Amino acid sequence: MDAGGHVFSVDPLERNAAKGHGVITSMAAGNDVILLGTSRGWIIRHDFGAGDSFDLDLSGGRAGEQPVHRVFADPGGSHCIATVLHPGGGETYYTHAKWGRPRPITRLKGLVVNAVAWNRQQITEASTREIILGTDNGQIYEMAVDEVDKREKYVKVLFELTELPEAIMGLQMETAPVGNATRCYVMAVTPTRLYSFTGIGSLDTVFSSYSDRAVHFMELPGEIPNSELHFFIKQRRAKHFAWLSGAGIYHGDLNFGAQHSSTSGDENFVENKGLLNYSKLSDTAEAIIPWSLSVSEFHFLLLIGDKVKVVNRISQKIVEELKFDHAPESISKGIIGLCSDATAGLFYAYDESSIFQVSVHDEGRDMWQVYLDMKDYATALAHCRNPFQRDQVYLVQADAAFSTKDFYRAASFYAKVNYILSFEEISLKFIGIGEQDALRTFLLRKLDNLASEDKCQITMISTWVTELYLDKINRLLLEDNSTTVGNGRSNDISEYESIIKEFRAFLSDSKDVLDEATTMRLLESYGRVDELVFFAALKEHYETVVHHYIQQGETKKALEVLQRPNVPMDLQYKFAPDLVMLDAYETVESWMSSRKLNPRKLIPAMMRYASEPHAKNETHEVIKYLEFCVHNLLNEDTGVHNLLLSLYAKQEDDSALLRFLQCKFGKGRPNGPDFFYDPKYALRLCLKAKRMRACVHIYSMMSMHEEAVALALQVDPELAMAEADKVEDDEDLRKKLWLMVAKHVIEQEKGTKRENIRKAIAFLKETDGLLKIEDILPFFPDFALIDDFKEAICSSLEDYNKQIEQLKQEMNDATHGADNIRGDISALAQRYAVIDRDEECGGCRRRILNGGTNRMARGYTTVGPLAPFYVFPCGHTFHAHCLIAHVTRCSSQAEAEYILDLQKQLSLLGGAASKDVSVGSNEESIKSMTPADNLRSRLDDAIASECPFCGDLMIKEISQPFVLPEETDQLASWEVNPPVQAQKILPMIM
């Protein structure tokens, strides 16, 4: 044991525990409850949890020795079964913790019960549920007792040993769910055999299935009268078992969830079986058989003589010897038995009068060392409790592998050692023997075990691993060069490829911890260009990667790198000249697949490519890309359009150039331009390249129609005619252009005179009457005969005659229209209206024809006794002063001031205006109009141009508010004031 002290300790628990009821013959424990059977038929119950005890009499009033053969307690300490031996046989009793008097089990009368198996999974405080009892005559019974019923529910025989009838000395039972059913496992031992029963369903079903099949059993030599079977229980589940047999302690692990099974299908839950020979329990050759047995998690407690020896279950070595301090007055023969309390985790030993408690103190603390000594490293690691213990396990494994020259395995284990052995010591182990590969493995595993906080150490180790990889690659290359062609060479090549792949994987995993500059210098110093490019790509140094691929002529790989989403766009423009010269097709295809590129920044690369000579039938890749930008991407950059136009101009066939010039690139935009190239640059370029048709189109587009026609005449007269006909909004310019064409046509004709004249006349017809014969006559020579133009001149004279007749007709129509207008004017002066006698003024509602009124507008004279008035065609009539007042009120301030000013001027003229208003309807009066009449006419136009009730004045009043701004005070007087609140009257106290 280590310095932590003993695992097991002994404490006297109860002296004179029999209380005068004889001596202790049997003992059982469960849940801090101890049940003692005495030689006089008593059961003494000690409940340490409740702190009380009481005695139960099983003697039935019979005198003499009636020893309690066996006493059994359930794990909860509530149920108890005891067998008392009488001269006439045995009698079995059941008692509950709440009972004061035990009940005999009549069905078992005369039978000696040696073993009881409790159903730990289903037992409750009130009911035992199914329990199994083993008797002295080799029978197995099933029984159930309810505390409420005060008696057993049933007792029935499950099985009987017939082949070799022996006493059942030990029973254990375990259940486990299987789907919706329950699987039962039962183990029973006799002095020589261990039987196992298993099946699905009730106990009755399980045991009845063995009526037609053999029972599985384990038989060991030797026979002892005190054979025992124990399960170690942890968390209400059995973990392992031990059988105290004549040959030794047969033990093993229990795995009730295991799927494997034996040929008989019975022993599928027993694993790691072993036998502890009794010869290991003493220093002599003679085997000492223990008298009793208890099982802990890792140890056996064996009662040998007056001592309890603690044996490690795994190593089978004695780890302690427990001695007991008996009472001085005791006449005990020594320890007579052991029992365990699975619920409380305690063990007890007893002699004839005393009870001793055996406590367990962390018994698994040194199990890692036990497993390590047995070289069960995995289990040893599972039982380690601190890093130092794990280091020792790893170190033992590493040293073992190192000693057998399994250096790779040793490196893996050394990498897990953190405290016992330093990093430097382990590294020197491999360096000293020249195992570079094992050292690399150790460093890699060390990296896996380091925490992320150890950044400095991770970087240094990763750099060292990088250098070891490079050294390994170089050594493989040297070996490859020194070997001959054969199997060895192919193996070296495969190993070389494997190490390259492994190295690249390491670089990918360690790219974030490796120092960038150091790593790249290492790769460069070892000449590993491919790995240098690979690492640069990992670190996103794409410029280095692309430059390498261009040097190697691998355009596709370079373009693939540039097309990655995280690659800066500037690299596309930087390497574009080299890539397009290396492989124009692949480069342009890559450009076309990326819509993020700015074509303007690619112009230097495209111009470099365009400056190189190309075959006639070769597809011009730059033109293809520019066409894609212009037509598909709708690019509007002037530089792009100019470059495309310049490349078109260099082609022998000008059809593509003309199509480009005729395209209206801005037609998709509202008010967009027809082109985006520079027309002056285009004209200069086409003139230099002698693309005359293109120049004609550019002149026309720039509205330089005279230059366009002049140049077109040098190329094709038909083109000149088409250009001249384009001008539609300027008749003079259009005629001038056609005259230029006519002059050229006449001067260029080389036929006979009559034929030339005939062609000139035909040309005049093409102008659709724009040119006459007299327009083109100056272009003919002076000695041309007039007879040759006779027909054309006659035709022209006839046209003029028609025009003269048309003008005469128009003049007659104008004269007739003027006469009609004069008649209308005369009729307008003689207009009159009939006024009804009761007609009222639209303003004051008084009769218009009411004589004797004193109110008269200033500037107006009365007509007899009547006041001046206005009559409108719609029938409304107004006094003059009423109409003036209404119009000025409804008009704007400027119009009102104008009307009042006219009225004031009329009043100032005074007597000059005293004319009869009825006079002046004739022409003489109109011609001799006085200033007063002029003012009155202007006043009439201002106030009487339209009826105020039917014209625009009434329509404008719709937008006027009902309440004018100056009437706000009057409007406020109509507001309803809120009612005055009633005053609160306070009572007066006298």
pLDDT per residue over 463-520, tens digit each?
999 999 999 888 888 876 665 444 455 565 688 889 999 999 998 998 889 998 898 8
pLDDT above 90 covers a percentage of the chain that reads 25
Q: Per residue in 783-797, pLDDT tens? A: 454 555 555 566 666
Give just the sign of the alpha carbon dihedral 19, 22, 27, 30.
Answer: negative
Specify the pLDDT at position 648: 83
> Range with the lowest mean pLDDT among 245-254, 402-411, 638-647?
638-647
Helix (H) or strand (E) holding 11, with range, is strand 8-14
The b-or-e profile of 780-800 (16+ CB within 10 A means b, else e) is beeeeeeebbeebbeebeeee
pLDDT in tens, 699-757: 777 778 777 777 777 777 777 776 666 766 666 666 666 667 666 666 665 544 445 55
> Does the pLDDT value for residue 898 go beyond 60?
yes
Mean pLDDT of 22-48: 91
d(CA 345, CA 905): 134
DSSP letter at 333 equals: -
Q: 320 vs 5, 301, 339, 752, 763, CA distance in Å?
A: 11, 10, 18, 148, 138
Q: CA-to-CA distance for 186 and 267, rounded, in angstroms?
A: 11
Q: If pLDDT is split at 50, 70 and 90, which confidence band does 93 have? A: very high
What mean pLDDT is predicted for residues 900-910? 82
CA distances from 955 to 949, 950, 986 (A): 9, 8, 63
CA distance 581 to 621: 11
Which three-class secondary structure string do you get for 510-568?
A: HCCCCCHHHHHHHHHHCCCHHHHHHHHHHCCCHHHHHHHHHHCCCHHHHHHHHCCCCCC
Residue located via tokens 């985006």 = 676
Q: What is the pLDDT of residue 492?
A: 58
- Token output for 731: 């008749």
Q: Is the pLDDT of residue 260 over 70?
A: no
Identify whether the C-beta of residue 120 lies closer than 8 Å to the C-beta of residue 127. Answer: no
pLDDT level of residue 632 (50, 70, 90 thresholds): confident
pLDDT at 911 over 50: no
Q: Which is higher by pLDDT, 331 or 216? A: 216
pLDDT at 382: 92
pLDDT of residue 859: 47
Percent of the chain with pLDDT over 70: 81
The confidence band for 89, taking pLDDT boundaries of 50, 70 and 90, is: confident
> Span 69-88, mean pLDDT?
91
If 0-12 CB within 10 Å is exposed, 13-18 middle and 19+ buried, where does residue 839 land?
A: middle
Note the Cα 62 to chain centre separation in Å.
85
Q: How far apart are CA 535 and CA 516, in angstroms?
A: 9
Question: Other C-beta atoms within 10 Å of 845: how many?
Answer: 8
pLDDT digits (tens, 9 = 90+) for 766-778: 655 555 555 555 5
Average pLDDT of span 40-66: 84
Whole-model pTM over 0.85: no
Which residues, 6 or more positions from 83, have their beta carbon under 8 angstroms from its beta carbon?
68, 69, 70, 71, 90, 91, 92, 93, 112, 113, 114
pLDDT band at 83 (very low <50, low <70, confident <90, very high): very high
Q: What is the mean pLDDT of residues 517-545?
A: 85
Instruction: State residue 389's pLDDT score.
Output: 92
Q: pLDDT at position 328, please?
A: 65
HSE-up (13 A, CA, CB side) for residue 206 = 23
> Looking at per-residue confidence, does 86 or 665 come out higher?
86
Per-residue tokens: 208? 């009845």
Amino acid occupying residue 241: F
Could you give the CA distance from residue 427 to residue 122 in angstroms, rounded to a whole number? 59
Q: Which pLDDT belongs to residue 765?
A: 55
Residue 232 pLDDT > 60, yes or no?
yes
**Closest-CA residue to 21 (of 75, 68, 85, 70):** 68
* pLDDT range class, residue 194, cuts 50, 70, 90: very high
Q: Is 86 helix (H, G, I), strand (E, B) or coil?
A: strand
- Gap between the Cα atoms of 723 and 697, Å rounded: 9
The better pLDDT of the pair 989, 81 is held by: 81
Eight-state DSSP code of residue 62: -
Predicted local distance difference test score (pLDDT) of residue 849: 82
251 vs 232: CA distance, rounded Å: 11
CA distances from 372 to 300, 389, 393, 401, 418 (A): 20, 10, 7, 15, 18
pLDDT higher than 50, residue 922: no
Residue 832: burial class (beta carbons within 10 Å; 0-12, 13-18, 19+): exposed
* pLDDT of the residue at 838: 85
Q: How many residues does the chain have?
A: 990
- Alpha carbons 35 and 42: distance in angstroms, whole number: 10
How far apart are alpha carbons 947 and 758 in whole angstroms? 70
Q: Is the pLDDT of residue 807 over 90?
A: no
- For residue 242, pLDDT beyond 60: yes
Greater model confidence, 579 or 63: 579
Q: What is the mean pLDDT of the chain?
A: 81
Evaluate if residue 858 carries a pLDDT over 50: no
Contact 294, 339 (CB under 8 A): yes
Q: Residue 319, SS3?
A: strand
Report the Cα 450 to chain-centroid distance in Å.
Answer: 31
For the cut 70, the answer to whether the pLDDT of residue 28 exceeds it is: yes
What's the pLDDT at 969? 77
pLDDT at residue 1 tops 50: no
CA-nearest of 82, 92, 86 to 66 is 86
| Whether 59 contacts 66, CB under 8 Å | yes
HEC sequence for 255-282? CCCCCCCCCCCCCCCEEEEEEEEHHHHC
pLDDT digits (tens, 9 = 90+) for 151-171: 888 999 999 998 888 999 999
Q: Tell me what the mean pLDDT of segment 60-88 comes to.
A: 88
Residue written as token pair 């369903």: 201
Q: What is the pLDDT of residue 703?
A: 74
Lowest-confidence range among 247-261, 360-374, 376-390? 247-261
pLDDT at residue 245 tops 70: yes
Which pLDDT band holds residue 618 (cuts at 50, 70, 90)? low
Q: Are 359 and 25 a contacting pair, CB within 8 Å?
A: no
Mean pLDDT confidence for 677-685? 85
Residue-level pLDDT at 764: 52
Model pLDDT, residue 793: 63
DSSP string, 406-474: -HHHHHHHHTT--SSS-HHHHHHHHHHTT-HHHHHHHHHHHHHHS-TT-HHHHHHHHHHHHHHHHHHHH
Tokens representing 470 are 């490079």
